[in-house]
Amino acid sequence: MKNLILFSFLITLLIACSEKQISKPNAIVKTPPVNKGVIDWEFFTPDEIKNISFPIWINDSITLKKGIQKIQISIHEFGFKEDSVFQDTVPSTIYEVSFSKGQLSTIYIKEFSEEIEIEEQWFRYRQEKDSLGYSLPNVTNKVIYEGNDFLPIFSTLQNAQKYLRLKFDKKDSCTIQYTNTLSADKERHIFLTDSANWNVHFIDQMFENPEKNKYFYGIPSKHIESFRIKNMVEKEQLSTSKYFENDCIYQRSSFNNGFENRRTFIYDESGRTTGFIDSLIVEPNDFIERVVSKIDYKDGLPVFISSFKSRDSLFKDPIKEVRLKYTFDE
C-alpha cells in the first residue's frame, strides 16, 4: 500500500510538472542511478520493438546472468460492455523471445484479431549483437485466416512491412547507414554521429535525394531526434528524446499528423523503472489524454505492466495489461 501511495504521488507530481513544460529532466526529479534490468524500457515500445535489427530492448547480460531461456510477453487489451462491466479479452499479441547461453536466438510473434489468430512472425538471429546492438535476422511470415494456413511467405510479404529489417550499408567518420529491406522503396536510415553535422544544410549537401531517407541525430542506441526532410530544407519531426546527465532516458516523444505521443519515465530511488506516463498532445501543448502504466517486479524481473487512465487515481480499472513469464535454464 505504501508503494502505491508513493507511486500515485510521483504520478501527480510528474503530470503537474509536464503541464508546465519544464524542459530539463532534473527540474522535475533528481537524476536516477543507473540500474540496468532485463528490459531496457526506453526501447520497449510498440514502434521500437518493430525494429527487429536492433533488439536492444533486451539486456543480454542479464539474461545470461539469470539463466533465462525464454521470455513470453502477452499483451491484453480491455473494453467495456454496455453495462459498463470491465471485460477481459484474449491477448492481442504474444511474443516468445528465446535465448541460447544468454544470447538472443529467436523472436516469435503471434497476432490476434477479434479472438482469432491471424498472423505469425519468426525472426531468427544467427549472429550476436554488435557494439551498437545490431543483428540482422532471417524473417519468416505465416498468414492465418479462418483456421486455414497459407504457405510461408518471406520478407516481401506486404504485412511484414510494418517491421524494420535494417541491413547495414556503410559507416564513415560522420554517419552509419542502413537500408530497410522490408520497405517497398528500400528507405535508408541514416544516423548522423557527429553533432557538428546536426543541421539540414549538411544533409542537403551530403545526400542525393535527401527526402527519401530517415535521419537520426545520434546512434541507434541513443538518438535525440529523428526526422525526414520535406520541401528541400524543412524537417518533418518524427521523434525526440531527452536524457538525464547519466544517459538514463527521461522522456521520449513521437509525432504524427499534428499529434505528439509523449512518454515520461518514472524511477524509484534505486534507479529501477517503475512506470511511465503516456500523454497524447495536440501540438504544441494541448493535452488530450494521459495513460499511467505501473510496472510490477518479482525476484528482480518485471512480471506485470498495468495501464490506467490518469483519472483512475486509485488504479482500479486497467485498460491494458502486459504479462511477462520466464523460463530458466535447467
Span 240-264, pLDDT tens digits: 999 999 999 999 999 998 899 999 9
DSSP 110-145: EEEETTEEEEEEEEE--S---TTS--PPEEEEEEEE
Q: What single letter denotes the amino acid at residue 204?
A: D
Cell numbers standing for residue 35: 540500474
Distance CA 7, CA 95 (A): 28
Distance CA 36, CA 165 (A): 26
Span 125-170, pLDDT tens digits: 999 999 999 999 999 888 776 555 554 444 345 566 789 999 999 9
Q: What is the pLDDT of residue 113?
A: 82
Cell numbers standing for residue 71: 521470455
Count structural domains, the chain. 1
Among 85-89, 134-138, 294-298, whose mean pLDDT is lowest? 85-89
Q: What is the pLDDT of residue 81?
A: 54
For residue 67, is pLDDT > 90?
yes
Q: What is the pLDDT of residue 155?
A: 36
| pTM of the predicted structure, to 2 decimals | 0.85
For residue 316, is pLDDT > 90?
no
Q: What is the pLDDT of residue 149?
A: 52
Distance CA 11, CA 160 (A): 37
Show the domain range for 137: 2-328
Q: At residue 48, what are phi and psi to the nearest 5 degrees?
A: -70, -35
